[in-house]
Amino acid sequence: MKELILIKVSIILLFVFNIFNCQKKGISLAYQNDELIQDIGIGLVQIINPNENIILYSDNALSIIKMKGPKTGTNFIPILNKPDYGILFFSCIEKGPNFYKIIISKDNYAYIKPSENSIFYNWEDFLMGQVVNIESKNLKNNPLRISINGKSINTENWKSDDEVKILEIKGEWLNIENITRNKKYWIRWKNKNQLLVYLNLLV
């Protein structure tokens, strides 16, 4: 009887250990993870080939290696994450001639070397050239408007796959045309260093 209890306790402990181990290894990331890093920086660095070995450095002289081949998860969080579609973007808070300083988790930074495997976009270039659709995270607090801080518009019949085009960026506001609905509007896309919208790069 005692042996049976011991076996059961051992199995339970093994199960708990496995859960803890999985949690320690990483977290399940969403497509957009700005809530986890809480800073959008000055722009984004795209890793073109996620399978290529990435080396993170601790200093901008790139003399101290912080991590080799990091896996996305707890300590390596892309702001936009869908590597099977070539979408792997990290918030960049500083850019030098020989380095990008990226956010890899909340209040945690690393440096990478510019290479053929990385492209830097400032936010204006990224929004104008890469984004195919934008959705407000909270339509009640941040609705689509006829003008900056103007009256909100009715989007009841609009769909997430409507074709849109960003026409203009004015600080924290975007002027957008919904081509599908033949309608122009404004939306506040950020508040200081926080995104107020979801960014869709997939057609």
The per-residue pLDDT for range 135-152, each reduced to its tens digit, is 999 999 999 999 999 999
Over residues 50-73, the mean pLDDT reads 93
How far the first Cα of the chain sits from its last, in Å, is: 62
pLDDT tens-digit readout, 18-47: 333 433 445 689 999 999 999 999 999 999
Q: Which of 200, 30, 48, 31 is nearest to 121 (CA)?
A: 48
Domain ranges of the chain: 34-122, 131-200
Q: And the tokens for 173?
A: 């506001």
Task: List the beta bridge partners of residue 134.
Answer: 199
Specify the DSSP class assigned to residue 174: E
